[in-house]
Structure 1
Amino acid sequence: MTSEWNHFALGEITELVIDYRGKTPKKLGGDWCKQGYRALSAKNIKTGRIVQAETIRYIDESLYRKWMKDEVQRGDILITSEAPFGQIFFWDSDEKIVLSQRLFCVRIKPEYDARFIYYYMTTPEFQSELDGRATGTTVIGLRQPELMKCIIRCPEIQEQKVIAAILSSIDAKIIANEKVNDNLAA
């Protein structure tokens, strides 16, 4: 079936890439604080979820304005560039966050279904392509130009929407079941 789908380089279907991987509070004349805007890094992203919440740092309003010239929006896709490499997260919130270490944010053009693209990025096919474009021996990583060359295969928009809706409903059921299990365990 996917052989009949169109294929595009990720860069062709991307409206915006946010890449602030080199920024730190010190470089911007500030410091971390106890509350404010969450600064997510690669260690906080595992495909489909935010992990290690206790390690998330925060910055204040003025530092946020300096750091995040382009803001993460609902429907954007976060991708870890290294350590861990190739983890994917769909941002489904209006919360303003900071992209910290080793994270890209990709905004998909509106003529494509961003949630479908997210699900495609989690497939073994796409992950294999990421692996093939990665460099490094001790720490495996991916540069932005190589990420943008990765191939995305997708059907027409209506089919993208149907597939994304089905997978989203399955994810919602998994999350609900995990919450029930956590409550029962407590």
Structure 2
Amino acid sequence: MEQWKQDRLIDILDTLIDYRGKTPNKVERGIPLITAKIVKNGRIETPTEFLPAEEYRDWMVRGYPQVGDVVLTTEAPLGEVAQLKDDKIALAQRIVCLRGKEDALDNTYLKYFLMSNIGQYRLKARETGTTVTGIKQSELKEVLIDYPNYELQQKIASILSSLDSKIELNRRINDNLEQQAQAWLNELLDRYANSTTVLIHEIAEINPKRNLSKGTSAKCIEMANLPTTGSFPNGWIEKEYNGGMKFCNGDTLIARITPCLENGKTAFINFLDKNEIAYGSTEYIVISAKSNYSSSFFYFLARNHDFVDYAVKNMNGSSGRQRVSGDTISKYRIPVIPREKLESFTNHAEIALKTIKNNSLQNMRLSMTRDALLPKLMSGELKVNDLNS
């Protein structure tokens, strides 16, 4: 490839920090701990585990990460990649931190190379293990990296980063909109907690009948694509219907089985065509608003802590396979919120959910564009100048 080189990763790295073999003391507050389970799809999700601040210096004896460093999961799973936006973090096991040599290997370029099909193939070609597979540090050092001159690396990284930056901006907007609406409903439910109550089945249908014939091709949202945070599904596929819960626009989906219920797998459906019916797992509960209530109300109700707590405490079944029933959900009591207060909330919530939908659909298109460009830019098949012409 013209202007491109190929070297072992270790030959173009300035720093490789690896904390495997050490087990951190985890606490509820302190220095954010970057673990393998929060590095997903090119980004670092909000940390849920922490290292005691007073132990930070003693823990980080193998090196301190810097903003812009690349973090890579080494097992369970192997190959998730992201970049650090904060240097005041601690690295857990199954995570390595990589920093390219100055003026030789751009960190953002390295991130995208490791995310590409070429990079993923080369990582997995060196993994070992049976039940849990991973890559040893000695093997990671030998992974071959294809790269052009430093200036071209930066241009490639800039093109791909611009797409990811827009995706991240949309994601932050969505998170903010959802948090505002959720806080509003939570406050209303708390304020009127001692007022008259209604059973949820009086104002909503639980698992309503939807018509979809077996063998009909339809959109399917599998459990893996039901989000733990946010209203919009992570994706869907088109396939023939052969059973499962059916739903349409305006419905709220809730996972009813452990651990999916506890993990918050819930979604609001508003991306389908008019009168279109989709389907998903038999382990969903579908909530559909009756005429005097807005469908947006029930999505945010499903995210309310008291509602989730009620559902979890009323699960039945053998250990590991516990479920909450639709009948149990139908008996959940909701305080009656004054109509003008409820209408004010639902007007806001409907706008929020529509904006979240539009941003999420745009993110799907941006991700498809990035994923199409990534292998071509990383292989040299597509030249940067071709994108500017």
TM-score, length basis structure 1: 0.88
1:94-117 Cα offsets, whole Å, 9 max, x none, are 4x1111121111111112211111
1:106-133 Cα offsets, whole Å, 9 max, x none, are 1111122111111111100010011110
Amino acid at match of 1:38: P
Number of the residue aligned with 1:108: 100
Number of the residue aligned with 2:142: 149
The 5-angstrom pairing of residues 23-102 of structure 1 reads 23-25=22-24, 31-51=25-45, 53=46, 56-69=48-61, 70-94=63-87, 96-102=88-94
Q: Are the structure 2 counterparts of residues 109 and 133 from structure 1 closer, same or farther at C-alpha, using a change threshold of 3 Å?
A: same
In 1, Cα distance between the equivalents of 2:41 and 2:126? Answer: 19
SS in 1 for 2:125: helix
| Residue 176 (structure 1) shift | 1.8
Ranges of 4+ aligned residues in structure 1 off by more than 2 Å? 31-34, 177-186
Decide whether the 8 Å contact of 2:79 with 2:114 is kept in 1: no
| Residue 181 (structure 1) shift | 4.2
| Residue 36 (structure 1) shift | 1.2
1:44-103 Cα offsets, whole Å, 9 max, x none, are 11131123x46x211222211111121110121111010111111111324x11111211
In 1, Cα distance between the equivalents of 2:79 and 2:148? Answer: 23
Segments of structure 1 that go 5 or more residues without pairing to the other structure are 26-30
Mark the structure with the bigger radius of gyration: 2
Q: How many residues align?
A: 176
Higher relative contact order (CA 8 A, sep 6+): 1
1:10-39 Cα offsets, whole Å, 9 max, x none, are 0011111111122123xxxxx432211011
Identity of aligned residues (%): 39
TM-score, length basis structure 2: 0.43
Segments of structure 2 that go 5 or more residues without pairing to the other structure are 178-351, 357-389
Decide whether the 8 Å contact of 1:21 with 1:99 is kept in 2: no
Aligned-residue RMSD, C-alpha: 1.6
